[in-house]
Structure formats: structure tokens, C-alpha cells
Structure 1
Amino acid sequence: MPEHELTEAIPTWLTAKYFEDFLKKYEKDENLKVISTKFTDVTGKGEHYASVMWRAALEVKSSKSPVPQKRSYVVKSVYEDPEKNSMFAMYGIYKREIEMYEKISVEIAKVLKSIGDNTQLFPEALHHDYEREVLVFEDLSLRGFRNVDRRLRLDLHQAKMVMEKLAKMHAATAKMEEKNPGMFAHYNQSIFNRSATAFVEFFLMHLEIFIEELATWEDYKQYAPKLRNLLKDFNERASQVFDPSKDFMNVLIHGDLWTNNIMFTFDDKNRATDLLFVDLQFSSWTSPVVDILYFAHNSLKEDLRQENIPELIQYYHTHLCTLLKKLDYKKKVPTLREMHVMLLEKGFMAFLAGVVMQPIMLVEDSTNADMDTLISESDAAKQFKRNLYRNPKTKTAVKYLLPFLDQRGLLD
């Protein structure tokens, strides 16, 4: 596995004793001893923004193995920098993710097992620290899991695998809420909402720069006035996307479903064989199509985005209906036609994912791709954002999306 240099200092509390204390409980071994620790970043710049992740290489002695063993874990923590941390903390994402791994993911697995489905959807979190807002995970790379290069995006086979497992997450949580109405009521803060607006300011800054760039694109200048007008009620439009549907089914969505939050295993021909979803910080209770639109417009290869989304929706819908029937779900299950109505109703998500967020996800030069640059208003930061929209892959995607969205009234 590639080693990445540390971009954030290791906090003073993250010591051998910290690991020792929870591993003794987890393994029920009071004789366990952590001899040494070594930390590296899990990923390079431009791969994750909302938290810090380190790979911890440990040497461990235990009752089972008095000879020191090498082990590897992944530690996910909040930023030590108060300014960065406060931006994300107002969304409650850290404690929400801990609850997702400690409780909700376990219940999802139980629901699926009740119909004989032993599918694993998420990695195991060995340690849940609510006080420091820290999670410690198994190191999935040891089982061969890795990300697809975010710049290459996913092929049709990989996308169908995502749709199949996503249907399982959605179906299980729909059944859970049917049995325990209101259990997800507190999952009401997504990336966009009316009470926390830190992200809105940052995305508006990006859009202002994009509109300036758009004015220089031949044959696309006519969209600039529409987008500038859209900025006036941007947060309300974006928040409505994440509002639970009044007329159709709701589920607990992943909430940040893109290439870097999906880890695959591959066979010797480099064909994907399994996947796990990671990063559950933005899970919220809303329409299932929000996940689908978000994923489709930031993670699919460009030709698939333009040609295969209806196929993927049908594939997802087939699996969802099959699962809900097995789970004896009593509420109304949306028809495929109703799914398409929902997709139009929540269609502004395509703009948010494809025009607002995707440029960051496709960044080529990741030298300055970090939270400091994204939230800064310096000249260098503005140039970085301008370059996002000059990326040929981004331009191709946006040039397809703008007329697509406009023809459906989603820019009005």
C-alpha cells in the first residue's frame, strides 16, 4: 500500500496507550500490549476534506501471540484546527457517523440477515470515541479493498454493483423506520440544510467564479444570467432537495456517495468483485433518488452519465422492490415511473453534484487541494477554483449538464 506523508500533526492523545486501552476491551485480553506505533496519511491531498484519516501501523503483543505482531488500523478524527473543525461540527457529522457505525450499520446488517442476506455494506469500526469524535476501523487494504481513481470514475459493472448494495441499505432502513417510526428523525442535517450554512458560503464562492468562467465559454454564455439569478435562493433550492418526500418513499441515504467513498476488491483481470461503502457523515432521511442523482452525476464515466442513468435506475428499482417484498414492507413501494417523477422533483441534485461538487472531485493538480484552499478567498485560492472549471473533464461534464438541466426547467 502506498504511504502518504502526514499533512496534519498527530494529536498528543493518539498514543500506544490509546490503542492499548480499547484493544484490550475489544479482544478481551488484559495482557495485550502495544509496543510501537507509526502513522501515515491514508490518502493524499484532494481525496478527502471533511476529516483526517491516518493509517496506524502497530506492533502488538497479546496472550494469543507473545511474539510481537504487526497490525494496521485506520483512524478517522476531527481536525485539531478549531476553524476547520467548527465548519463541520455545526453539521453534527462526527457524532452522527459514530452512531452510524456503532448502531445503525449493525441494525441494517440484522435486517438483511433476517431474509438470509449476509452482505457486508460497511467496514467494521473497532472503536467508537464520542468524546474525541474518533473512529478506528479495520484496515480494508489488508483485504484488498481500494478506491477507483476518482479522475477515471466508475464503469457500468461497478456502477451496477453500487446500485445493488445501495438498494440493500435503502430497503433495510425503510423497514427499520416502518417498525420504529421516527427513529431517523434526528438524521435531518445534510450537506445542505436551513440551519447550518457554512458549506453554502463556500459553494457560492465557487459558483461566482464559475459564472465568471462561463461568460468566456462560446455558446454557453446564455446560462450565466440564469445561474446568477439562481444564487439568490441557492440554499433554499439545495435544502429542498434533502427534504423528505411528502408523496413518495423515504430512506436513510448514504449522503456522500461518490467514487472515493466506495472501496472495491478486484480479481486478477481487474474486474470489481465486491465493494463497501465508507464515510457515513452525511447520512440523512430523505428520498432514495438523492443518493442516485448524487452518485450518477459525480462518479460515472462521462459516456455512462449521458447514456446509462435510466438503465441504472431500473436496475436499482428492481433490486429495491425485490428486497422490500422479502422484508414484508407494508408501505407503498414506488413504481419505476414514480421513481422518475421523484428524479425530476429532486433534479436540482444533478446541478449540485455535477456542476458544484464534481469539479472538486475531478481535480487533477492536488497540490493545493485541501480545506484551507477551498475555504480561502485569497487570490491563489480563487485561481485554484478557476482552474477546477478549466479542467477538460469538468468542462465536458458541465457542457452536457447545463442544457440537460435547462431543458427540464431545473435552472429556472
Structure 2
Amino acid sequence: MSDATKGHNGLPADNLPVWLPNITLEKAVQAQIGDFEKILSVTPQKGSSEGENYSSLFLRLLVEVELLDHSTKNLSFVLKAQHNNEVLGAILTRLQLFHKEDQMYHNILPKFEQLYAEVGKTIQFAPRAFKVDRDLGVDYILLEDLHRKNFKNENRLTGLDLDHMHKVLEKLAAFHAASACYVEHNGLFGDEFTVGVFSEANRQLLQEFNASGAFLAQLKKWKNAHKIYEKLADSDDYLVDRLLQDQQYNAREFNVLNHGDCWANNIMFQHDAFGTIKEVLFVDFQVGKYGSPANDLYYLILSSAAPELKTAKFDYLVRYYFDNLVENLKLLQYHRPLPKLKNLHAALFRNGLAAYMVVSKVLPVVMLDKTNNANLESYMNDESKMKTAMFTNPKYVQVMTEVLPWLDNRGLLDWK
């Protein structure tokens, strides 16, 4: 790898992974541009800023290529790899998150897109994925750099406006419809998707990830939240039991492959010169889970819709998603009974714990300003500065003064 250990953009050479100099990208470059003469250099850049990534190492690889006519061309790839931290690396390995994501990018998503191609519709769900030339000895995902095509995230702190929510729900409905038709054609997904991380073997890890002590300590102090606090005060005693129960898919219901982590930072938008949304793509497919679409709907709307939309437009957004879901199922010639809106709402009511998990575990992270203390270890430590900042953030507290009563009035906190 030419010049791959050169420090660049705040990434000094001694901070580079020891395996990085062994990376070669001939196959990836060939897949991008066809035949070429040689790779002149590969320069790594930091791929994400502090406070924006919690569990993986992200690098942007800038590649200078000499073409057959001896001119040069610059390419860019995004490399996502297992974290240098041994504890975090062990967790990712145990949960097989990179294995799942590799399957998604290289096997499952292309088949979803092919289902649409067969009925005359061109659709893309994610950036194009590539393989390096030889084994690196670490888990990794290599992707096209969407920034080169002017894709970007919207501001997670302000949330997605109605136009952006429409476009995301359209793409999510198409993704879910493809997954339902995929099962119809190919049979059920494997255990890594039907069970995922929600197994008895992972009970201790689930308890550590989902401990509510820091949240409940602050909830107790919030104005007019006493009754809700009383309802949730001992929830850590039974939360994981209920989580393991709720995340078992019900074969008698309409099920889809949920993205599983569908929030603003995992959604990329491309706009035209006038600001109109041209394309929406998803990234980060490590925790996909087969089950009720209620999971993705709660995750997306409650974590990433603008505050004024989360509850006021919730039912409207569900209906918008549902109409697009049915339209895509018909397009793909889905042969099983089409889902009904009333059944989707019933699933949303049955999965109240999923809503609580989003607003108490995900939303405070989404609304947290960038901080160097933001990492997975801090997230799992109830005494960390990050945890305190999450639940004392005035913007989060303000949103929760509306969201929590809304959940309670719908009976979505009655999952004991």
C-alpha cells in the first residue's frame, strides 16, 4: 500500500492501525473505474469526528490512480473496521455485527434491489460495497464514499423536517417490502437476523447496555413526571425479560427485516442545486432484526423526526409509511395477504417497550452535542460524564416533557 502510513488530517502515523499498511485496493478500484495502470498512493483520513461514532473505527481512504493513458484520477473509499479497543472489539465479535453487515451489503441488499429490477424499477438502498484484495486479519466493511456524490447527513440535533421524513419513509417502506418478498422467495433469514442480539446468551450484555439508572435518576427530578417515574422505577428488574420476549418475531403477523438503527446519522441525503431531495440511502446495517415494522417506525420517528413532528404527526407518518409499503408490496407481486393499517397500529401498541427504549436510550444520544466523552464505554457507564450530559441536556428534557406523557397516554409504558 503506497504511502498508507502517512499521517494526514489529524491522523498521525503512530495512531494508524497496525494492519492498515497491508491493505491493497486493486479489486475495489477496478470495480469503480475499470482497467487502470496502477495505484500511486493511498492516504488515510479520519472518517468521523469525536462524538459521532461509538463502536467502530472509520477511515476515509484517498486513492490516487494512474489510468491507462497515464493521466491520474482521485478516488475515495470509506473503511469501517473493528475498534482498536479490545473490550469493544470483543463485544462486536461476540455479537457478529460485522458478519451481519457484510451479509447485508454483499448478499441481501443486492437481492432486494434485484427484486425491484425484475419489475422494472431501479432502486438503491445503500452505498456500494467492495472487498480488499487479501485478508486483513480484522473485520471490516469497505464502501464507496458517498460524500463524493454530495450525500450528507441532516442535522441530528434539529431533526428531520416533514419533506425529509417523507423521503426516508418512502425508502424504508421499499426496503421493508423487499424484505417481505425476499422471505416469500427465499425462505426465512438466518438466526443472526431472526434472533440477533436478543438471546438468553446475551442477557448480561443486554442488561449492561440497557441499564436505566442514570435516566431514572434524572426522571425523578423532572417536573410533573412523578407518576411516570413510579411506573418505571423498578423497570431494570424486568426490562430484559420483556425485551427478549417482545423481540421474538410472531410468524402469524406481518414481519419485515428492520434496519434496526434507523436514525439521522445512518441516513444519507443527496440534494439538487435547489435543495430538493434527490436520493436517500441507508448505512450501518449491523443490527438488522426480523420482526414487526413497529420497531423501525418507533426508532426513526421518535429519534430523528423534528421535535414538532414526533407526536403531533406520528399517526400521519405511520399512515404515509403504510401507504408506501402496500404500494411496493403490490409492485413486487407479494402473494401473501397484504398488511392492514389497523394491524400495524395494533403492533405499535403491543411494542410499547420499543418506543420506551428509543426515547430513553437512543434519543438522548441523538440530541447530545458533540463531545470527546462520547463512546461506547461511557454509554455503558451510568456514572460517566456522557451519561449525565445525556439526561440533563435541556433540549432533551424539553422534548421528553411532551413525548413521555404521549407514550403514557397511549399505554405504551404499561409493559411490566
Normalised TM-score (structure 2): 0.90
Looking at structure 2, the residues matched to 386 and 170 of structure 1 have their Cα atoms a distance apart, in angstroms, of 36
- Give CA-to-partner distance per residue, 1:263-315, whole Å, 9 cap, x none: 00123343322110111111121111211111111001111002111111111
Alignment partner, residue 45 of structure 1: 50
Q: 1:164 aligns with which of 159, 167, 170?
A: 170
Looking at structure 1, the residues matched to 331 and 288 of structure 2 have their Cα atoms a distance apart, in angstroms, of 24
SS of 1:73's partner is: strand
Q: 2:83 aligns with which of 79, 86, 103?
A: 79
The answer to whether the aligner puts 1:252 opposite 2:254 as a matched pair is no
Q: Alpha carbons of 1:97 and 1:350: their partners in 2 closer, same or farther (altered >3 Å)?
A: same
Q: 1:289 aligns with which of 286, 291, 294?
A: 294
Q: 1:99 aligns with which of 96, 99, 103?
A: 103
Letter in 1 for 2:220: A
Q: Alpha carbons of 1:209 and 1:286: their partners in 2 closer, same or farther (altered >3 Å)?
A: same
Looking at structure 2, the residues matched to 91 and 6 of structure 1 have their Cα atoms a distance apart, in angstroms, of 29
The answer to whether the aligner puts 1:155 opposite 2:161 as a matched pair is yes
Alignment partner, residue 217 of structure 2: 212
| Pairs within 5 Å for 1:213-228 | 213-228=218-233
Looking at structure 1, the residues matched to 78 and 370 of structure 2 have their Cα atoms a distance apart, in angstroms, of 26
Q: Alpha carbons of 1:173 and 1:44: their partners in 2 closer, same or farther (altered >3 Å)?
A: same
Q: Alpha carbons of 1:19 and 1:12: their partners in 2 closer, same or farther (altered >3 Å)?
A: farther
Alignment partner, residue 344 of structure 1: 349
Letter in 1 for 2:185: K
Q: Alpha carbons of 1:245 and 1:401: their partners in 2 closer, same or farther (altered >3 Å)?
A: farther
Q: Is the 8 A contact 1:191 1:199 kept in 2?
A: no
Letter in 2 for 1:314: R
Shift of 1:371: 2.4
Q: Is the 8 A contact 1:297 1:354 kept in 2?
A: yes
Gaps of 5+ in 2: 1-7
Looking at structure 1, the residues matched to 164 and 314 of structure 2 have their Cα atoms a distance apart, in angstroms, of 13
Number of aligned residue pairs: give it: 404
Q: Alpha carbons of 1:215 and 1:23: their partners in 2 closer, same or farther (altered >3 Å)?
A: same
Q: Alpha carbons of 1:302 and 1:193: their partners in 2 closer, same or farther (altered >3 Å)?
A: farther
| Pairs within 5 Å for 1:325-364 | 325-364=330-369
Letter in 2 for 1:196: N
Looking at structure 1, the residues matched to 70 and 351 of structure 2 have their Cα atoms a distance apart, in angstroms, of 57
Shift of 1:198: 5.9
Looking at structure 2, the residues matched to 24 and 45 of structure 1 have their Cα atoms a distance apart, in angstroms, of 33
- Give CA-to-partner distance per residue, 1:238-263, whole Å, 9 cap, x none: 23343213431111111110000000
Q: 1:36 aligns with which of 41, 48, 59?
A: 41
Looking at structure 2, the residues matched to 190 and 46 of structure 1 have their Cα atoms a distance apart, in angstroms, of 26
Q: 1:132 aligns with which of 138, 152, 161?
A: 138
Looking at structure 2, the residues matched to 204 and 405 of structure 1 have their Cα atoms a distance apart, in angstroms, of 19
Letter in 2 for 1:119: I
Looking at structure 1, the residues matched to 246 and 277 of structure 2 have their Cα atoms a distance apart, in angstroms, of 31
Looking at structure 2, the residues matched to 46 and 203 of structure 1 have their Cα atoms a distance apart, in angstroms, of 18
Q: Alpha carbons of 1:368 and 1:50: their partners in 2 closer, same or farther (altered >3 Å)?
A: same
**The 10-residue stretch of structure 1 (284-293 or 243-252) with the greater mean CA deviation from structure 2:** 243-252
Alignment partner, residue 114 of structure 1: 118
- Give CA-to-partner distance per residue, 1:338-370, whole Å, 9 cap, x none: 110111111211111112211012111422112
Looking at structure 2, the residues matched to 130 and 408 of structure 1 have their Cα atoms a distance apart, in angstroms, of 50
Alignment partner, residue 404 of structure 1: 406
**The 10-residue stretch of structure 1 (232-241 or 100-109) with the greater mean CA deviation from structure 2:** 232-241
- Give CA-to-partner distance per residue, 1:129-155, whole Å, 9 cap, x none: 695321211110111100011111101
Q: Alpha carbons of 1:89 and 1:19: their partners in 2 closer, same or farther (altered >3 Å)?
A: same
Alignment partner, residue 179 of structure 2: 173
Q: Alpha carbons of 1:226 and 1:193: their partners in 2 closer, same or farther (altered >3 Å)?
A: farther
Q: Alpha carbons of 1:209 and 1:183: their partners in 2 closer, same or farther (altered >3 Å)?
A: closer
Q: 1:88 aligns with which of 86, 92, 100?
A: 92
Letter in 1 for 2:387: K
Q: Is the 8 A contact 1:90 1:196 kept in 2?
A: no
Alignment partner, residue 71 of structure 2: 67
Shift of 1:26: 7.0
Looking at structure 1, the residues matched to 289 and 207 of structure 2 have their Cα atoms a distance apart, in angstroms, of 21
Letter in 2 for 1:329: Y
Q: 1:196 aligns with which of 185, 192, 202?
A: 202
Looking at structure 1, the residues matched to 9 and 222 of structure 2 have their Cα atoms a distance apart, in angstroms, of 38
Normalised TM-score (structure 1): 0.91
Shift of 1:35: 2.1
Q: Alpha carbons of 1:385 and 1:313: their partners in 2 closer, same or farther (altered >3 Å)?
A: same
SS of 2:51's partner is: coil
Alignment partner, residue 386 of structure 2: 384
Q: Alpha carbons of 1:247 and 1:47: their partners in 2 closer, same or farther (altered >3 Å)?
A: same
Alignment partner, residue 3 of structure 2: none
Q: Alpha carbons of 1:81 and 1:56: their partners in 2 closer, same or farther (altered >3 Å)?
A: same
Looking at structure 1, the residues matched to 253 and 377 of structure 2 have their Cα atoms a distance apart, in angstroms, of 40
What is the root-mean-square deviation in Å for CA atoms of aligned residues?
Answer: 2.4
Q: Is the 8 A contact 1:26 1:126 kept in 2?
A: no
Looking at structure 2, the residues matched to 145 and 198 of structure 1 have their Cα atoms a distance apart, in angstroms, of 38
**The 10-residue stretch of structure 1 (346-355 or 216-225) with the greater mean CA deviation from structure 2:** 216-225
Gaps of 5+ in 1: none
